[in-house]
Amino acid sequence: MSIVLEAVLSGDQKGYQKVRQQGLALMEVLLSLGLSSVMFLVLYTAQAHSQRVLIYSQQMHNANGLLDQVANQVLAYPQHYQMLINTSPKSAQGCLQGSYCAPAAMTQAWAAYWQEDLHNQLPNGEFTMACDGRCTYGNTLTLGLTWTQSLATFSESCAKGMACMHLNIAL
């Protein structure tokens, strides 16, 4: 942008002469800096939110995979699924490296593995298992995962700030 200035000539010359100045005025510079700052703030905020959504999406993917593995275990060893909650025996971990194990030991080995995976993948993750009435043939087994997640909203089965997933399995 060019600015036209009028300058008084020195000496015996009378009148004014028009002088063209190249460059930007201070006001234009401040305005462009202010707009640039707002644009960078908007971009930073959008990037930060996108990062949080990506993390939430990864957590949902991990939770889906974990529930799928647990459901497959329940279907493979239906008489031992109650042992999925008891994760105390670490000695049964050899079952997961190809050793032969009884179905009860295999179920406990998987439960210990999933519990460790749950704590590594989902912040404050908890696994629940409940039956409608008695856990017998013909009833429904409900597997649930909950973990803390700031993007999660309130629902009937889950508090705000907690992400929840439930899977119902017919026994």
Q: Can you give the C-alpha Rg of the chain in angstroms?
A: 33
Per-residue tokens: 154: 């309130």
Q: Name the 3-class secondary structure at 157.
A: coil
* Single pTM value for the model: 0.66
Number of domains within the chain: 1
Domain that holds residue 66: 3-170
pLDDT tens by residue, 18-63: 656 666 788 888 999 999 999 999 999 999 999 888 988 888 898 8
